[in-house]
Structures are given as structure tokens and as C-alpha cells.
Structure 1
Amino acid sequence: MAGTEAAVEAALGKLDLDAKARLLAGQDMWSLPELPEIGLRSLVMSDGPVGVRGVRWTADDPSVALPSPTALAATWDPELARRAGVLLAQEARRKGVDVLLAPTVNLHRSPLGGRHFEAYSEDPYLTGRIGTGYVTGVQEGGVGTTVKHFVANDAETDRFTVNNLVGERALRELYLAPFEAIVEHARPWGIMTAYNSVNGPTMTEHHQLVNEVLRGEWGFDGYNVSDWMAARDTVGALRGGLDVAMPGPRTVYGPALAQAVRDGLLEESEVDEAVRRVLRLAARVGALADAEPAVPEPPAPVDGAALARELARRAFVLVRNENAALPLKPGTVALIGAAARDARILGGGSATVFPDQVVSPLDGLTAALPDGTLSYALGADPTTELAVADKGFELRAVCRDAAGNIIGSGFAPNGQIQWMGTDLPEGVTHDRLHTVELTGTFTPRATGTHTFGIKGTGAFTLAVAGTTYFDGPQPPADGSDPFEAFFGAPVTRAETGLTAGRPVEVSLTHVFELPEDVPFKVVAFALAHQEPQRDPDELIAEAAEAARAADTAIVIVATTDRVESEGFDRKDLTLPGRQDDLVRAVAAANPNTVVVVNSGSPVELPWRDEVAAILLSWFPGQEGGAALADVVIGAHEPGGRLPTTWGSLTDAPVTRVAPADGELPYTEGVFIGYRAWEKAGRTPAYPFGHGLGYTDWAYESVEVAGTTVKVRVRNTGERAGREVVQIYLAPVERDGDRPARPVRWLAGFAGAEAGPGETVDVTVELPRRAFEVWDEAAHRWLFVKGSYEIQVGRSIADRRITATTNV
């Protein structure tokens, strides 16, 4: 550490003001500038959290795609999260990335949060434990993390401008708590501050929360980077503790920061503090000469596909299993659902990565089941909007200058073009680029009316099979997210009849125009497509017939990237399209119906009592279909437990995500998630912590010595299994004059593995913080003495044994 600090100080002493200011501003979308005079190479950042995309947002630069963060939290296994982090560090090094822009540790305040799938849990303790494992693993691999989004970035509506009004107690006990735990236990090298404001100041200028709490109270010594385009004011950002303003080249730092110092608005010593933290990051990742990196030798290589498969099956949550419907018994299986064929493996937005292989449920079960035992039916397609052109398309991107001359071209793996900064085809520059044409062929899978559309803004020309269907401008939607070209909905521009198996030519030409005030250079648009839409009633009837003829029916239901994505919140919790009708029809035809729910966050399951089994697969990553086969045939048991309460929107206690007059008050205080469900006296569909395996467990004893809890459990089933022993703390005396506390809260957990008939002991040390509340009058933590019941069990609603402790 002393050597690192000496190298940092030596480097800092060689820099003039302009170089310092330049270092704190992105030079492009993903990197900071090199400073050869001090032996500093460019620092490169990349989005996560399920993979490492690198500096190119394109499917021709593939990445390992792990299951969604909600899935990782569903494992209730910090060590597995650490192993995932080690793999992601390996991916980052392979792609030349120094810093991973992850993990997301905002809370599931409301089930309507559109980015719900990218965060871990409704519970701050579980979030902190999983996040600590993830950060530890990434940094053990010599790659930095940026824990995000600091803080209270819990919804997407008006995320750039909303002022979240959060009480001091809720802020401390809930929303800051995961960040605090990760800073204490994992020492992250970076934090990302959010777009939103909290109680007035925007987070990129929040002196109290960044300088006083994060750095002062918690001792965080890493760097603080803005969310992309979040920094608004030069002086306010630097005084508020922001070190790096991204992306570049046009930011509030760089020349603007140097000028602010020359104008006397800031002291150069204030700039030095920010530069010092960036140089410390550079030293840790091995980007600064004369500084020993934090990890001189990387860990042993990790098999990415194998870990993705293990993580997925460990994350699957079996919430219902009547008459031991799972694992499957010998016989025929009817697999039903659009998502069984075209897998939804991850959520939309900046979390998107592009794996080089995807195992769909149809692929996985076809490989795992005996020949001739599996049939497939579409049933009902949840996709009611166009999606990026993919299956059946063979495309190239051709770039031309204003005179129509070709200046570059390249393979396009799908219909999405996203070229950021200097990530352009060879020979192409922004100054010369006039048009980009996506051109090639499309071979339909189905005969009928195909729909084509455009995602993005600007001038476009769309032609299909020799006919031009659109030639003109496509304006942005009113009040749109600045990232609409990435996350916005496609606009329908053509409908034409095509024949299955007969290729046709397609072309989408975009005129590239770069506004003068754009903060970074990007070429972003997409060709979109939708297959012919058959009558839903006919499709459902065909699926019911297939189910009736089989011994078991497996229905895959799913959300879409227009339901769960960055950039917008959800309007409801229903499954899109006619999927609820599909499940009911199949269940009526075959009582042995298993439903696999392919969503990153809660959806309503109005038919849940009509089916034999329900398995939540989350967004299961690239190996999801193989992992599903492992679980349903019984090669492995589903290992997950719910990290968030699942219930109906009508009963959900906290649902407001839209601000009024720019403000969103968190009026519920500390009562979110299971805390709120219990306070309201409402029963969810499936409670926090719930999850079944393929064996049974008896809770035989609990011993408590102070804050140490020892639990003995016995595997009473016929096969080996893993149990998640959950410990909830409940005050015996109610709070009297003190602010109300929840009925109970998660205070600890541990995994237990045992063979049939075996017992296993687990020991859990309850943290001091579990017994503390934030005293808003004194602005400090208060240890609440008294008698507490230690409640041990399988979920917050399935508590098996208790003991009492006095502290």
C-alpha cells in the first residue's frame, strides 16, 4: 500500500493542471486518456453485470452471459457470487477492460421498477452479502468494480431529473446499507453515482452522501465516476466528490475544469484529490508504471459456460411442486411456448451482452430427453412488438461518404448497429461518414405477413424484396430517454407477405448526422422485425392438444425487453400477450403441467393453483436451457430461494414509481418488500426466502450464545440436497416510543448440504447492525438492547424453530 501511494504521489507531482483536468474526463464512451509522461495507459471501463461487453456494443464481439442479478441473489450463496466475479474479471482481462461497471445494489423498492432484474433483492442485508461476494471476486481477478447506482436509483421514470425524498432512517437502514456493507467487507475500487437527486442535490453533486458518508464515515478510498451523462456542473460535481465525468469527450471536466481553477472557482488542490483517486485505481489495475498492481498474477482460468450453467440451476426457484411433478418421470413431454424456442436470457438496456452461444429450453431438453419423447408447440407469443432482426437475417453494414463512395463495411450479426466513439469499421471516420446501410437477405421461418420496422431517430430508407416502404425522418418520441436509440421501441414501417424458406433482399439505410451539442459520438439504430401473427386462439388450441397427448406438459412463459428493461418502469405485473390463457388451457388439458417462468422479476401467476409445478428460471443466461434440463430431469435439484416477495400488484404495498412535480417521496419509510407485506397484513403468492428442493429437511435444534446462532438440520428425504437456513430477528417487546420497526427482518443465513438421513450444523454470527436502528434526532446508529426471538426456518413465512437472546 505504501509503495502504491508513493507511486501515485510521484505521478501526481509530474502533472500540470490541464493534464489533471483531462484525466478526470472521459476521452470517449468507455475510457480515460493515457498520460505517457507519467507512464499511465488509458483506463478502460465496460458495462456488466452479467458479462463484460467491452468497448464494442455488438454481437460480433461475444461475451459470456451469466444469469441475471436476481438469479445470482436467488442462490443465497456469496461464495458462488465471488466465483462469478472471478470469471467476469477473466472476461474483462480478455477484452482489455480495467473496470467493470457493476454490480447494481439498488433495492427492489417496488415490483414495478423496470431495472428490477439488474439488482439483487428487496432486502439490504442479502444484497450486501451477494454484492460483497461479487466485488471480492472481480477484484481478486485484478479488475476494478464500480458499485452502483449511489444512491436511491430504484426506478426508471424520469430517472435523469427525479428528486427522491428519502427519510434519513430509510436511507441509512435500507438504501445506503448494501453500499456500506460492500465498502466495509470488499473494499471496492469504485462507486458510480446516479442520475437522480436525493433530498435536493443531484447525486453527482451530493457532498453530504459522497464526501461525508461514503468517504468520511465509511473510509471509501476508491474513485467515484458519474453515471453516463449524469454530471451537470463543473464546480458542483468536484465539490460534491465526483472524480470522473463520463462519457467524453464533451463533459463538465477537462478544459472546463481547468478553466474553473484558473477563474478562482476551485482550488487546484481539490482537483488533486480527484486525480489522486484515479491514479490509485490505475495503480491497482496495473495501468500505472512503477506501481505494483493489486493482483500481480490472475487466478486460475474459469470455464465460463460451465459456471454459467451451474449458476443458473442453483438459481432456479421451485415455488410449487404438487405430487412431486418434478423431477420428470419417464414418459412423453410437450414443450410449449415461444420462449422455449427463442430463449430470453437477459434483460434489456446497458446490461446487455452478446454470447457466442445460447442454449434454449428446446435445445436443452432435446439433448437431455430420449429421442421421440419431446414435442414442441408455440402456444402463445409474448412478443407483441417488433424485435431487433435476428433469426434468418444475413446482413452487412456498408458505410458511404456524401458522394456515395464506400468507405468501409463489416459483418452485422443482427439488425442492431451501435458504434460508440471510435468503434467504427476500418477506414470509417465520423467526419467522412454520411450513410450506413444494413443490407443482405432474410429467409423467413414462416409463411405470411411479416412486419418490419425501425428503431432510432433520424432519416431512414427501408426496402424489402425490392420495394421501398419508408423514406423519411423518424423523430424521437416526446419526452424520450436520451438513450432512446438504444432502449426505445421500434416503429412499424412495412408489412409484406413472404414465403417460408424463400430468401428476400432487405435494406435499411440511415443518414448519419451528429448534432453539435452531442456529448459523445455514436451511431445507433436497428432494423426490427416480427414474424406473421397467427390467430392466438388457434395456437392455444394446438398447444392444448399437444399437452393432452403427452404425459407431462412444460410451458415456458416469459416477459420481453419491452416489459423489463432499462429506460422505463413497468405498468403492471401481468405476463404479456395471451400467456395466461395459454397456461390455463394447457393445465385444463393435462393436470401434470409444469410452468417455467422466464422473467427477471416478479410477475402475477393467476393460474398458480391450477398447475402441478412452477419453476422460476429468472433470466438464466447463455446456458439456461441446459441448466433447465439438468433440473427438470433431476440430475440436479433447483437450488434457489426467493430474494424478493412475489405477489399481485393489487396487494403490493409499495407501487409508486412516478414522480409528481419532479419529486418522488418514499413515504413508506423503512417498510418495503417483506417488511411492508407483513406490516399491511397481506399474504403474497410466494414469500421472501421461499423455495423447494427435491428433498425434505427437519430443523432439529437451535442454540444461541449472545449473537452466535448454531442450527442443526437433517435431510429427511431420499436424495442429497442443499438447504438455505434463514435466520430472522424479531423483537419480543414492541418499540414503545421509538420509531416502529418491522415485525422481523433477515439477520443471517447459511447454506447446508447433506445426504439422505444426514445431519449438518451451521453456525451464523449475527451482525451488530441487525440490532441497530438509525436515530434521526441524534444522526447516529442506536444499538437497541432487549429481548429478541431468533426465528429459524426456510422462508420468512416458514419459520421452524425459535430461541430467545438478550442483548
Structure 2
Amino acid sequence: MKNNITEILEELTLKEKASMFSGGDFWQTETIERLSIPAIFLVDGPHGVRNVVDRHHTDPAKKATCFPTAVNLAASWDLSLIEKVAEALAEESKCLGVDVLLGPGINMKRSPLGGRNFEYFSEDPFLTAELAIKFINTVQRKGIGTSLKHYIANNQEYKRFSIDAQIDERPLREIYLSAFEKIVKKANPWTIMAAYNQVNGDFATESSYLLKKILRNEWGYKNLVVSDWRAVHNRVEALKAGLDLEMPGSVPINDQKILDAVESGELIKEKVDQSIKRQLDLILKSQSTKKENIDLPIEKHHQLSKEIASETIVLLKNQGKLLPLTKERLDDTKSMLVVGELAKKIRYQGIGSSQVNPTKLDTHYKALKDKFDKQLEVDYAEGYKSNDKLEENENLKQKALSTAKNKDYVIVYAGLPDKVEAEGYDRENIKLPKEQNELIKELTEINSNVIVVLNNGSAVDLREWIDKVSAVIEAGLPGQAGALALADIISGEVNPSAKLTESYPLKLEDNPSYLNFPGNNGIVRYGEGIYIGYRYYDKKKMEVLFPFGYGLSYTEFAYRKAEVPNHLEEGENLKIKVLIENTGLFKGKEIVQVYISQEKPRLDRPPKELKGFGKIELDPGEEGRLELELDYQELAYYHPEEGWVVESDYYKLMIGASSRDIKITEKIWVESSTIIKGLTKKSPFIDWLNDPFGHKAVKKVLTEEQIKEIEYHNSRPIYRLHFYSPDQVSLKNIEDILDVYQNL
């Protein structure tokens, strides 16, 4: 193939160009043999290279290292660790002849019910962007392309091919587009994948607003946009909107539609050539890296997967410092019982298009037996099966209870089975299976040293037994070597340092999207606006099971002081120094988080927004200074008429160990030349009142006169709502819901 794109364009016929707009087969682009234009090989790859030869998936993918999934990688809050994963994935891509990895997935965890949450990093756009930027820059520096996905609002599996996500402009920009914008500008992914769903009435694959106005014109993205597999509905409209490549290979009729559109003048030749240029540019970039069919570094990457997993596992509870089970502590111990189907039939990744065929696979029971067998007796009881056979589960439970009575320690492996959590469908609730909850509760009645290890891809409800067990470890979906990493953590060879990147509510009904998920009548209304995750729980001053950013360590850290300027000029980055001391007995790592709030914003802002983080490792008794730098623009919020704005105001900087554990608070004055004239668009609250799929019930308590009482003062809507007959409303907790929309 020639290196001159202009020359290639001149030699391509219109028919050949039309054929290039769709894939040549399920995983590859079209080849043009006459001009020696090769195919590009795109495969799934958020946490491992999923090289599937058979388009129907009847044959397994080629073996590759299964690293921890995104839910785990994010919990590390560690950019250097993300870099290690990305380097390994690029290396394995070269070994397997892959040109583009379809990932990372950066959609927000809007609801804990999202079936694909394990593939996504967080409920927070800032953290998500920082992790994805490091991932993409590293992979592409090694000569392998990435595909940032899913653009945009792919936050549920229910009717994901057609659901219309209705999102007001501010939350669209501030929550759901924010990470995409930063990544495009700072990492420039070789491709971006357009999602299946609709956004405000248009399919994401043919939305001129999303693909042309925002992505191309505002953000300046010049690379290729590819569809999610079979997400294109109107090929000509998609091409006009800015979608370059339809995947997988389509029926020839789409090629003909493009030819007919050019012939009729509906599509101009320049538009066709512009899109073909992007494909040719991607081909040339991918050809610059040598792909070799050589053996994978199996053992090396298996050990790397173990090292990475150990940094991604969260310690949620450790009553009386029961953990770690060090050699010294076990001197007077004789026995340990490992319980649970998941101890042998492990969950280490999610189900769906990201599923990797691992090169090796360790089980929890074997890992613990290898770790502790020389010191104490390690037995196993199945305890439960992930089925609906009540009698069988009762028998298994009784056997486990009988065995557990005389054991010094009981470690229960629990979590969500494959049938509950997978791509293609959402969860019905956030509870663990009934048989697991019953087993754990009854084990605590006969043994005081019960440790629960969880395997799941998103938040779960643990209220039935959380106060009764001694320790809880959130292992997530830690990849093929996760069992080894867990054994190291339990034994104290590794001190856990990971922290949650999503809030765990007390109950599902507390989640802000509860009444608007997953929608109905083909529509899902993002009625909670900018208040998702911890932003909402903080706004409502609501208790949670575990807050965003939470995670324990075997040691303790003291936040001694912070150095923060008291004044920031316009455009100046904010530099912070935090002095941390390890006051405990173990070497450990602490994740320091920086949140901001604005004192008097013209539009309402959350009480707390993550804008910086860093990780520091310290020996017992050691002090260290962590230096962080926040970009000036991180102080901005999105104004529907003014765009991203930073206002002159006092800002509060909150430095802490989690969103609910703030150690140091400082105030700083920020200069800005921005002057906001006022908000003239109608309130999103009014849109919500007119929502077509069920919220008309609100009007049972609000008269037209009451709605007119909404007035604007200093560009901020003020609501005077009076509920005369709350008992007439069919929606639950209407007062709480309406409160979210006040002062937006």
C-alpha cells in the first residue's frame, strides 16, 4: 500500500470507496486487493485481547492474559498500574496480530443495576478520564490503536439497541460527555465507537449533534468513528453525521445506498473522501507497527496479572484487625474452612463481548491451601450452588455449618453468579443470592471469625450480615490470577490499598436513578441530572453502606498538613502538597483524594466533586509529601448557555481518604473574567414534569398556577412547591425526588 493518501484516493473507484464504509467480515475492515489496501483487525480488549476467529463465537477466542476488569483497575487509583496493563495488552496485541483494541469503556455507572458495569471505571467522570487517558496514550504509544466506547449514554442493557436516553444539556455535558471530551483532547484515540442507543431522539450512530457539532467541530476530533457492532440503522444518514465505518460487514445493499446517495447529490464526493481518508490514515498508522505471530509471554503476564490484581482489591471491613492472617498470628491456630461454590468455580471476569479465554486460571481454594497448608489444616465445604434447588442448597448449607463449628477461621466466597450480571441484561436488584445470605448469617452464629470475600462487578446490598461478620473483602472481578493476589492479601504479604470508585447505597431505592431506570415506552429519562453517585448522596446528606473512594488498609495514615495557595489567578493551575504519615505497623499505600466545592455558584453545584488524586507508599513511621496539580479548568461547571465556566469565587478544597472522610479543608479565592448574563432557557424541571412516561402523576399535586410560581432570581430557578394532597401521587417519595430539582 502506498503511503500517500491523496494518491490512493485518486485511484480508488467510487464503488471501492462505498465498500470500505462497512467491514469486510465480522472483525476486519474491507481489503482492496487491487491497490494492496490491507484490512484492519479490531478485537475486544478492555482487560484482555479477545481474538475470536469465528464470527458466531462457537469457537473460543485464542488464549490471552485475562487482567482484572475495569471495575478493579479503577479501584487502584494508580496511573502507573494502568500503564503496566496497557503495555502488556499492546504487547499481546502484537503477538496476536491485532491492530485496534476495542476499549476502554468509559460510560458512567449511573445505576448499580447496569449489567455491564464491570466494564466501566466509575460513577465519576474525572477519575474515569484520568485512567482512560493513561491507558490510551500507553497502548497507542506502542503502535496499537484503541476504540474509546461507547459514545454515548450506554448506561444500561435494557433495550440498549433502541432505548432513547433523554438527557438535559447540563448533565449531558458535565457528567456523560465530560470524560470523552478530556480523553479526545489529551489522548486522541485512533477510533471512537458510537453506541447503540438513541440520545434525545437520534441514534448515536447518526446524530449530527454528537458526531459533528460536538465531537468534530467543538472538540476537533479528526480520527475515525466506528459503529458498535450492528448499531447502524440508516447508512447514509450515519455517514452524513460523521460515522466513518459500519461494523461488522453489512449486506451489499448499504454499499448501493451510498452510491445512489452520491449519484443523487444527497452525499457530496468531498464527504465520502473525507471519511475514506480517516480509514486510510488508520491503516497507515497500524501498518507502522510490526505484528508477529509469536508466543505470548504467558508466565510473565500471569505474574503481572497477579501483581496488578493485588492493587485492585478493596478491604471493606476488618473488625478487631482480624486480618491479616500472618504467620505470627497463626502460631496458635489449627484450622481454616473455605466455603462457597465460588471458591472453586471462580468469577474472575464479566460475561459478554469482553470475555477473555485465559492462558491460566487459579482458584481461591487452591491458592489458600498452597498459602496456608504448611501451618494449618485448610478444608473446603461447598455451602451453596448457584441454582434454584432449595433442598440441595439446604443440605450443602448444613454440611458447611457442621464443619465450621470447630474451625478457627471461616472464609466465605460469595458474589454474583454469571446468570445475574452480564452484558445483554441488567440486574433486577442489588442483593446477593438468597442461599449465600442465609449461609453467611448462620455461619456468624456459630463462628466469630467469619471473613467474606465478594466477587461482583458493581455495588451489592450487604445489610443482612455486614454487622455480624468480622471482615469483608471486595475482590471484584480480579482476572485470571486474582485468587493468588487474594491469598497474598489475606496472609499479609500484600497490604490492600484499593478504594471504591462507586458508591454502595444502603438499598437500591436510595439510588438517584431508581425511578428512572431502565425507563419504559422506549425512553429512559435521566431525571436526576448532574446528581449521580456520591454527588446525589452528599446533596441529600444520605447515609450509604460504603462511600465513593472508601477502602481500608492494614496500617493507618495521618494527614498532617496541606500546602495550598490562598489565591489563584485566571488560567493558573492549582498546586497542592499534602504531608502524610504512616502511623501504623505495616508498610502501605494511601490514596489521597481532592474534592472541590464552590461557595456561591450562579447555578447549583454538588457539595463535592473529585478533581484530583494521588497514591503514596510509606513505611511504618515514615512521612511523605504528595504533590498534586489541578488544571484550572477542573474548577469549571457547564452552563447551558455559556458553556464551561469558571467563576470568580471562593472555592473549598477538601482533601481526604474518601468522599466521606475529609481530613483537611482549605479555602481559596479564584479569579475569573467570566461574566454570566443569565439563564433564559426553560427549566429542566419543567421538562421533567412533562415527561411522557409516567411522571404526569406529579401534576396531581401541582396546579398550573403553582408551576408558574417558578421564578428566576440571579439566574437561578427558585421553586415554591406546595403539596396539597401527597396521598394522591402514585410515585413513591415524591418530595425527595422533587428536592433534587430545586435550585438547579
TM-score norm. by structure 1 comes to: 0.78
Q: Would you say 1:614 and 2:472 are equivalent positions? A: yes
| 1:177-218 superposed Cα distances (whole Å, 9 cap, x missing partner) | 111111122111010000111111110111111112112221
| 1:266-312 superposed Cα distances (whole Å, 9 cap, x missing partner) | 112111111111111111111xxxxx55999x9x9793212211121
Structure 2 partner of 1:352: 355
- 2:477 corresponds to which letter in structure 1? F
- 2:364 corresponds to which letter in structure 1? P
Shift of 1:11: 2.2
Q: Would you say 1:113 and 2:114 are equivalent positions? A: yes
Q: Would you say 1:338 and 2:322 are equivalent positions? A: no
> Partner of 2:380: helix, strand, or coil?
strand
Structure 2 partner of 1:439: none
Q: Would you say 1:720 and 2:596 are equivalent positions? A: no
Counterparts of 1:21 and 1:221, CA distance in 2 = 20
Shift of 1:73: 0.5
Which of these residues, 433, 443, 455, is aligned with residue 576 of structure 1? 433
Which of these residues, 652, 665, 670, is aligned with residue 789 of structure 1? 652
Structure 2 partner of 1:256: 257
Q: Would you say 1:748 and 2:612 are equivalent positions? A: yes
Equivalent residues in 2 for 1:687-706, closer than 5 Å: 687-705=547-565, 706=568
Counterparts of 2:636 and 2:2, CA distance in 1 = 36
Counterparts of 2:132 and 2:281, CA distance in 1 = 22
Percent identity over the alignment is 36
- Tell which deviates more after alignment, 364-373 or 687-696: 364-373
Q: Does the 8 Å CA contact 1:51/1:88 hold for their aligned counterparts?
A: yes
Equivalent residues in 2 for 1:63-74, closer than 5 Å: 63-74=64-75
Counterparts of 1:305 and 1:252, CA distance in 2 = 46
Structure 2 partner of 1:798: 661
Structure 2 partner of 1:773: 637
Q: Does the 8 Å CA contact 2:52/2:61 hold for their aligned counterparts?
A: no
Q: Would you say 1:598 and 2:458 are equivalent positions? A: no
> Partner of 1:147: helix, strand, or coil?
strand
Shift of 1:791: 0.8
Q: Would you say 1:639 and 2:497 are equivalent positions? A: yes
Counterparts of 1:86 and 1:255, CA distance in 2 = 41
- 1:552 corresponds to which letter in structure 2? Y
> Partner of 1:565: helix, strand, or coil?
coil
| 1:782-805 superposed Cα distances (whole Å, 9 cap, x missing partner) | 112211111111000011111111
Shift of 1:60: 6.3
Structure 2 partner of 1:392: none
Structure 2 partner of 1:423: none
Equivalent residues in 2 for 1:513-532, closer than 5 Å: none
Structure having the higher strand fraction is 1
CA pair 6-93 structure 1, distance change in 2 beyond 3 A: closer
Q: Would you say 1:311 and 2:314 are equivalent positions? A: no
Which of these residues, 364, 367, 370, is aligned with residue 364 of structure 1? 367
- Tell which deviates more after alignment, 9-18 or 714-723: 9-18
Q: Does the 8 Å CA contact 1:382/1:575 hold for their aligned counterparts?
A: no
> Partner of 1:603: helix, strand, or coil?
coil
> Partner of 2:457: helix, strand, or coil?
coil
| Structure 2 unaligned spans of 5+ | 569-573, 671-744
- Tell which deviates more after alignment, 243-252 or 86-95: 243-252
- 1:544 corresponds to which letter in structure 2? L
Q: Does the 8 Å CA contact 2:94/2:290 hold for their aligned counterparts?
A: no
Counterparts of 1:111 and 1:713, CA distance in 2 = 33
Q: Does the 8 Å CA contact 1:105/1:131 hold for their aligned counterparts?
A: yes
CA pair 311-383 structure 1, distance change in 2 beyond 3 A: farther
Q: Would you say 1:10 and 2:7 are equivalent positions? A: yes
| 1:115-141 superposed Cα distances (whole Å, 9 cap, x missing partner) | 111111000001101111211222122
Structure 2 partner of 1:650: 509
Structure 2 partner of 1:456: none
| 1:386-408 superposed Cα distances (whole Å, 9 cap, x missing partner) | xxxxxxxxxxxxxxxxxxxxxxx
- 1:565 corresponds to which letter in structure 2? A
- 1:351 corresponds to which letter in structure 2? S
- Tell which deviates more after alignment, 96-105 or 252-261: 252-261
Structure 1 residue ranges, 4+ long, deviating more than 6 angstroms after superposition: none
Shift of 1:533: 7.3
Structure 2 partner of 1:541: 398
Q: Would you say 1:759 and 2:623 are equivalent positions? A: yes
Structure having the higher helix fraction is 2
Q: Does the 8 Å CA contact 2:95/2:291 hold for their aligned counterparts?
A: no
Q: Does the 8 Å CA contact 1:234/1:260 hold for their aligned counterparts?
A: no
CA pair 536-294 structure 1, distance change in 2 beyond 3 A: closer
Superposed CA RMSD in Å reads 2.0
Length, aligned pairs only:
646
- Tell which deviates more after alignment, 68-77 or 78-87: 78-87
Shift of 1:535: 2.7
Equivalent residues in 2 for 1:408-419, closer than 5 Å: none
Which of these residues, 21, 30, 55, is aligned with residue 24 of structure 1? 21
Structure 2 partner of 1:711: 578
- 2:535 corresponds to which letter in structure 1? R
- 2:427 corresponds to which letter in structure 1? R
CA pair 92-255 structure 1, distance change in 2 beyond 3 A: farther
Counterparts of 2:109 and 2:513, CA distance in 1 = 10
Q: Would you say 1:662 and 2:522 are equivalent positions? A: yes
CA pair 622-301 structure 1, distance change in 2 beyond 3 A: closer
Counterparts of 1:674 and 1:218, CA distance in 2 = 28
Counterparts of 1:23 and 1:630, CA distance in 2 = 51
| 1:597-650 superposed Cα distances (whole Å, 9 cap, x missing partner) | 110111110211111111000011101111111110011111210000012213
Counterparts of 1:60 and 1:728, CA distance in 2 = 42
Counterparts of 1:768 and 1:295, CA distance in 2 = 41
- 2:512 corresponds to which letter in structure 1? P
Structure 1 partner of 2:677: none
CA pair 113-708 structure 1, distance change in 2 beyond 3 A: same
| 1:551-604 superposed Cα distances (whole Å, 9 cap, x missing partner) | 111000021122111111111001124100111111111111110011011111
CA pair 258-765 structure 1, distance change in 2 beyond 3 A: same
Structure 2 partner of 1:730: 597
> Partner of 2:51: helix, strand, or coil?
coil
| 1:211-231 superposed Cα distances (whole Å, 9 cap, x missing partner) | 121122212121100011111
Counterparts of 2:517 and 2:64, CA distance in 1 = 33
Structure 2 partner of 1:373: 377
- 1:378 corresponds to which letter in structure 2? E
CA pair 603-251 structure 1, distance change in 2 beyond 3 A: farther
Counterparts of 1:82 and 1:345, CA distance in 2 = 21
Shift of 1:251: 6.7
CA pair 557-697 structure 1, distance change in 2 beyond 3 A: same
> Partner of 1:762: helix, strand, or coil?
strand
Counterparts of 1:73 and 1:798, CA distance in 2 = 19
CA pair 42-340 structure 1, distance change in 2 beyond 3 A: same
Q: Does the 8 Å CA contact 1:142/1:295 hold for their aligned counterparts?
A: no
Q: Would you say 1:164 and 2:165 are equivalent positions? A: yes
> Partner of 1:570: helix, strand, or coil?
coil
| 1:388-437 superposed Cα distances (whole Å, 9 cap, x missing partner) | xxxxxxxxxxxxxxxxxxxxxxxxxxxxxxxxxxxxxxxxxxxxxxxxxx
> Partner of 2:658: helix, strand, or coil?
coil
Structure 1 partner of 2:62: 61
Shift of 1:654: 2.0
Shift of 1:368: 1.0
CA pair 6-32 structure 1, distance change in 2 beyond 3 A: closer
Q: Does the 8 Å CA contact 1:245/1:253 hold for their aligned counterparts?
A: no
Q: Does the 8 Å CA contact 1:151/1:203 hold for their aligned counterparts?
A: yes
Which of these residues, 416, 420, 425, is aligned with residue 563 of structure 1? 420
| Structure 1 unaligned spans of 5+ | 287-291, 385-531
CA pair 590-710 structure 1, distance change in 2 beyond 3 A: same
Q: Does the 8 Å CA contact 2:302/2:481 hold for their aligned counterparts?
A: yes
TM-score norm. by structure 2 comes to: 0.84
